[in-house]
Chain A
Amino acid sequence: KQEVTQIPAALSVPEGENLVLNCSFTDSAIYNLQWFRQDPGKGLTSLLLIQSSQREQTSGRLNASLDKSSGRSTLYIAASQPGDSATYLCAVREGGATNKLIFGTGTLLAVQP
């Protein structure tokens, strides 16, 4: 059974700092991996999607990497801003026909001004 773990569970950094969020998964037979952002009381916003054949994806100040063989992904946020404060979730999509996502429990990020 696929399990997704995110470390740390919570992180507080001063504004301007670069930071890394970690995601690990137990079964490397994934189709893709996706990073989401969730703001309090709101749904999820997709940030980056990495296909299993890719090593990384970049969008603005965000860079996500994927090492499928070791079951790891990282989300790098450059020059953090208070507006980046949110919960960050990673999710893997298992292979096969179901297309369902298996989520981690998230990292709660607070960027202090």
Chain B
Amino acid sequence: QQQVKQSPQSLIVQKGGISIINCAYENTAFDYFPWYQQFPGKGPALLIAIRPDVSEKKEGRFTISFNKSAKQFSLHIMDSQPGDSATYFCAARSGGYQKVTFGIGTKLQVIP
């Protein structure tokens, strides 16, 4: 059972454009929603995270939008750059432990 559904699985965006990745979850016990960025040959690195009592969080060019009633959240990358080309994972966690449920991942390619 895929508890965190992520789309699209691949995304091509022009430099300067907005990249949008969407996720939906089912388990209402989730209370922490991180996004990870992974470059080839590297482990995932935390990009930005949000808790369900906040509807939006922005860090630089990266923004998470969160809709608790719809059980959906999304990542927006503004002014996308070629260096943003990576695989992005949405994730969810409950209870403060390290058990993280990941989405399937979105391979983002930003073309010049």
Answer yes or no: are A and B bound together in one complex: no
Interface residues of B, Cβ cutoff 8 Å to A: none
